[in-house]
Amino acid sequence: WQITTAGDYIYLVEGEKEALVIDTGNGCGNLREMCRKLTDKPIRRAANTHEHFDHTVGNCYFDEVYMTQACKDAVTSPDYRYAYLNDLDIPRDYPIHVVSDGDIIDLGGRELEVFAVPDHAAGSMMLLDRKNRLLFSGDELGTPAYKEVRTTVEAYARNVARLYEHIEEIDWIFGGGFVYDHMILYRQMQCLNQILKGSEAQVYYAPKPIMPDPDPEGRMVIPRRVPNPYDFYKHKKPDTGSRRIMTYAYCSIIYEHDRVFDQKS
């Protein structure tokens, strides 16, 4: 099941013995109780694809939450992009089960393999369901139209190359806010290779945020579907023209021109 909450998708995955919730949103009531209306399998555990608040606020409803060590290190830290959540009384003392690359989450007749692929967030992981030919990718692959690289192009290309090795085992990729077919891995690999071989890219200037109009009483009303735009944009660094955008193979990659290759020791 795909559950739409404020900003991103939550997934409920059912095995023969139990069900697992992948990502827990940023506040939509008791998520676990709601999911119990969808399946008769026990729901004890959740998994976080990464540590950002819009994927983790509902963790407190579960007996145990799977995440990487890097995710655990940051999951309860204040997050400037979702500052309006920092002052909420959100329980953060839930049990955490740390998983690593290659670990298996067994739901009974349905196994999910962990792929640690940090870029969008330090603690990012994806879950591969080989039996059903599905990959749960969180926010790592960006939108169907573009991906913004946050580490180096070289490091992100390694992540995509690892996933591309499994492209014949994947039909659909379920992301935090989008659903893709597996060809997004091929398109991103082609685009990343253009950057790595030095092809010329365009300077990228981030668009200015579109603020909602005030209501009749003059109050600013923020759509619940997305994070508070003030919280997000007021912390963005001024665009100095250091970012580039490469468009190739029906895909665009946004990156810092001085962060293409890893630093050499």
CB 98 within 8 A of CB 69: yes
Would you say residue 234 has pLDDT above 50? no
Tell me what pLDDT residue 14 has. 98
pLDDT given at position 91:
81
Per-residue pLDDT band for 161 (boundaries 50, 70, 90) equals: very high
Report which of 193, 25, 185, 49 is spatially closest to residue 121, judged by C-alpha positions.
49
Q: Which residues contact 19 (CB under 8 A, 6 or more apart)?
A: 12, 13, 35, 39, 41, 42, 43, 107
Distance CA 163, CA 208 (A): 33
On the question of pLDDT at 238 being above 60, the answer is: no
Q: Across residues 51-77, what is the average pLDDT?
A: 92
Residue 236 pLDDT greater than 80, yes or no: no
Positive or negative torsion for Cα 62, 59, 61, 14: negative
Sign of CA dihedral 116, 118, 124, 128: negative
152: left (phi over 0), alpha (psi -120 to 50) or beta: beta
Q: What percent of the chain has pLDDT over 70?
A: 82
Query: What is the overall mean pLDDT for the chain?
Result: 87
Q: Is the pLDDT of residue 19 over 80?
A: yes
148-158 mean pLDDT: 97
Listed ranges 98-107, 205-214, 237-246; the one with the highest mean pLDDT: 98-107
Q: What is the pLDDT of residue 220?
A: 56
What's residue 8's pLDDT?
A: 79
Angle at 45 between CA 40 and CA 48, to 5 degrees: 125
Per-residue pLDDT at 233 exceeds 60:
no
Residue 209 has phi, psi (to 5 degrees) of -65, 145
The mean pLDDT value for 106-123 works out to 97
Of 67, 85, 165, 162, the C-alpha closest to 122 is 67
- Rounded to two decimals, what is the model's pTM? 0.88
DSSP label of 212 = P
How far is 54 from 6, CA to CA, in rounded Å? 8
| Residue 81 to residue 86: CA distance in whole angstroms | 10
Stretch 138-146: mean pLDDT: 94
Contact 260, 155 (CB under 8 A): no
Residue 92 confidence class, pLDDT cut points 50, 70, 90 = confident
pLDDT tens digits, one per residue of 169-227:
999 999 998 999 999 999 999 999 999 999 999 999 877 655 556 667 776 555 544 44
CB 77 within 8 A of CB 128: no
| Cα–Cα distance list, 26 to 82, 141, 166, 210, 262 (Å) | 9, 20, 31, 22, 34
